[in-house]
Amino acid sequence: MSIQAIRTEENLITAKPYYEPIGDEVEVFAAAYRNQLPVLLKGPTGCGKTRFIEYMSWHLQRPMITVACHDDLTAADLIGRYLVKGGETVWVDGPLTRAARNGCICYLDEIVEARKDTSVVIHPLCDDRRLLPIEKLGELLQVPDTFCLAISYNPGYQSVMKDLKQSTRQRFVALEFDYPAPAKEQLIVENEAAGIDRDLARRLIQFGLMTRNLKGSGLEEGASTRLLVNAAKLMVAGIAPVVATDSAVALALTDDEDMLKTIHELSRSVF
């Protein structure tokens, strides 16, 4: 067995991830996958995009490779490069090439953060050609049908500099994610923070909604589902609710003293 095959197996999700579907995203993703169409997940941070891809990886029985994109990430980081190892120069596949060779799901998280040259390698992968140009090896890789490219993008952080270009976005089937409706979000919190009191969970969701109403009035984003789950976990561990929301939510959202006070007061009014 090749080293690559071993590596890929490590990314196979064998235990069913807990995922609460919000709409028909599971069916749409599965249909896109069967048709070799790449998928774009749009939505704010912490609303379940990564968990969804993990669930789809398990559901479709395809290993997944995740790349957290950042502003230094180049095409070479995705494709691969020659490295000197023990005095010898060896080629090492990057995560995108590894996923393409092995028919994995490749998840590029926050794609707009990456350097612009990454779109050069993504584009030919996303149309009928399904090719990955590996320039340094002089190789044009025809990717297998089992390969799937998924990218995520938060339109809320959109700026002129960091917008997803039409030429890129129009190659993808898009799925929109948002914070779940209150009843569903409560169910998620109760599942993720096992042992949380029902009434506390209900109040926490109410508090979360209140912080989301502050968006645009001093807050860039309200509490995400992730932050509410974190607060619930602190509560289960015995931390008082207002302390839990201060630590897990307020301080995670802002450094502004007035805003911290406002969120603290919201929490006191709810708990």
Interface residues with ligand ADP (CB under 6 A)?
A: 18-20, 22, 45-51, 180, 188, 192, 225-226, 229
Shortest Cβ 232–ligand ADP spacing (Å): 10
Q: Which of 108, 116, 147 is nearest to 131 (CA)?
A: 147
Shortest Cβ 54–ligand ADP spacing (Å): 8
**Beta-carbon count within 10 A of 36 CB:** 16
Shortest Cβ 66–ligand ADP spacing (Å): 10
SS3 85: strand
Give 267's strand partners.
Answer: none
CA distances 131 to 121, 135, 139, 176, 216, Å, are 9, 12, 10, 27, 42
* 108 CA to centre of own chain: 8
Q: Which residue has tokens 């989301």?
A: 212
SS3 36: coil
Q: Which is nearer to ligand ADP, 51 or 98 (CB)?
A: 51
Q: Which is nearer to ligand ADP, 48 or 133 (CB)?
A: 48
CA separation for the pair 126, 165 (Å, rounded): 14
Q: Which is nearer to ligand ADP, 18 or 91 (CB)?
A: 18
| Residue of closest CB approach to ligand ADP | 48
Shortest Cβ 161–ligand ADP spacing (Å): 21
Q: Which is nearer to ligand ADP, 137 or 236 (CB)?
A: 236
Q: Which is nearer to ligand ADP, 38 or 208 (CB)?
A: 208
Q: What's the CA angle centered on 142, arms 2 and 26, to 5 degrees?
A: 85
Shortest Cβ 96–ligand ADP spacing (Å): 19
Shortest Cβ 18–ligand ADP spacing (Å): 5
Q: Which is nearer to ligand ADP, 188 or 200 (CB)?
A: 188
